[in-house]
Chain A
Amino acid sequence: MAIRVQREAFDFGAELAALTAGRTDIGAVTSFVGLVRDMAGDAAIGAMTLEHYPGMTEKQLAEIDAEANRRWPLQATLIVHRYGRMEPGEPIVLCAAASAHREAAFAACHFLIDWLKTRAPFWKLEDTDAGPQWVSAKASDDEAARRWEQNR
């Protein structure tokens, strides 16, 4: 039940350790970490800049987090999403879900990232050899999110 939107890089190992520190009720933690790649299709990526909509971003992430907690019995959730400039290899996003058992943790984590990708107001601008290029939304991301609509 925690949301963070920040410019700074994060240590996802430390984030997961903090999520479970001192807890004895959590039996399973699943996480998704999104990283900057050095290629997009055939184009080399030098860096990426993420723009977002301050205010709405936090509101959307909180709604997604609340929905995951309504659907599954979760002991803890965490979403960390960066904005600003980042280089290949750096983390962009972390979603984590903790539950007593693995099924809820896996499903909730998958849900968090799928809904985040189609609802949270972030936009990626890639620095390519041909200049800066805005990333296009993928139909496959919409389909991934729709799967969770059907399973409500």
Chain B
Amino acid sequence: MKILWFAWLRTRVGAGEEILAKPAEIATVAQLLDWLAARSPGHAQALARRDVVRVAVNQTYVPLDHAIADGDEIAIFPPVTGG
């Protein structure tokens, strides 16, 4: 799966994109965020406040219980501030 980080989540993680193999036990977005948070202190910091984390799978907003697949493009970012 391809993980994309944006804005201040990207700067905390230290990378805009990560290609990772999805562990078999990771089934939902919520489980993925827990798994990612354990990857490094930067990841943990980026994901410390889940209320300000938004997730899009294959470029569509999804809730935390959304099921993920290994081929997904999963973007993780803070609330948007355009316009």
Contact = CB atoms under 8 A, between A and B. Distances in A.
Interface of A: 34, 50-53, 55-56, 59, 81, 92-93, 113, 116-125, 134-137
5 contacts: A92-B83, A116-B83, A120-B83, A121-B75, A134-B78
B78 A137 contact: yes
Given A121-B82, A137-B79, 8 more contacts: A53-B4, A56-B56, A93-B82, A93-B83, A120-B82, A120-B83, A121-B75, A122-B82
Q: Which of B8, B52, B78, B83 has the most CB of A within 10 A?
A: B83
Contact of B77 (A53, A116, A118, A135): A53
A122 B75 contact: no
A122 B80 contact: yes
B82 A116 contact: yes
B1 to A, nearest CB: 16
B6 A124 contact: no
Interface in B1-30: 4, 6-8
A113 B83 CA distance: 7
Contact of B80 (A34, A59, A123): A123
Contacts of B40: none
B80 A51 contact: no
Contact of B59 (A51, A52, A55): A55
A123 B6 contact: yes
Nearest to B58: A56
Interface string B51-83: 010001001110000000000000101111111
* 8 cross-chain pairs, A with B, having the tightest CB-CB distances, nearest first: A122-B82, A137-B79, A123-B7, A56-B59, A117-B83, A135-B81, A134-B8, A124-B81
